[in-house]
Amino acid sequence: MARTLYFISGSPFAWRAMLALGLKGLDYTAVELHGSKGDTQTPEHLALNPRGKVPVLVDGDVTVYESIAVMAYLEHAYPETPLFGSTPAEAAHIWQRVMEVDGYLSAALAGAARPIFTQTFAGKEDEINENFAKARAEIATVTGWLGGNDFMAGDAPTAIEAILYPPLAMIARVGPAINVPGITPNIPDYATEFPALAAWMKRVEALPGFDAAYPSHWRDAA
């Protein structure tokens, strides 16, 4: 059955869907779109996702957009390697963590980074600094989730790995280059400040499907 994932390189939403596909050991054709070239607004793409965004997964005759919906679909369609646990209690715990990452860490990073990337930061410096501080506090919180385990919910990777790695990698990559008067990103150096998190990132980087999901423009720049 043909399986296609439409993505934009570096989109944390597409990245999480690709990591989930990899963790489940599913083959897929990754089709790269370029927002700057209008690829997400073509009639063909809008027919797949009327919101004109990625990711979109086309799996046989099923089309699904919204990254968390993609992950939920994969879990139902391919339950053999569970990403949301095997018991109701595990599912509750993993979904809770997934929504915490989305609602707090990712939200704080988006609130900090979006005005910078879109050059609309003037007058919003305090709010941006607050969001960076919230993100730093969330990074400390998620590090605590490890509790001595290899992965965020125990000894095997779950959906939490797929949702958490992209924003952490992104901010570590772009954060130090932010040089805007009045804005202090104060991005932690994971290796020295959060060594357990840095070790977890290395474990995630060794997981199946990680390389295929890695943003192509970062790879090209390396």
Ligand X SMILES: N[C@@H](CCC(=O)N[C@@H](CS)C(=O)NCC(=O)O)C(=O)O
Q: Give the residues lining the site for ligand X (CB under 6 A).
A: 8, 11, 13, 35, 40, 52-55, 66-68
Closest separation in Å from C-beta 48 to ligand X: 12
Q: How far apart are CA 15 and CA 2, in angstroms?
A: 20
CA distances from 187 to 42, 135, 142, 192 (A): 37, 9, 15, 12
Which residue, 69 or 92, has its beta carbon nearer to ligand X? 69
Which residue, 32 or 193, has its beta carbon nearer to ligand X? 32
Closest separation in Å from C-beta 106 to ligand X: 9
Which residue, 54 or 201, has its beta carbon nearer to ligand X? 54
Closest separation in Å from C-beta 147 to ligand X: 28
Which residue, 103 or 182, has its beta carbon nearer to ligand X? 103
Closest separation in Å from C-beta 105 to ligand X: 14
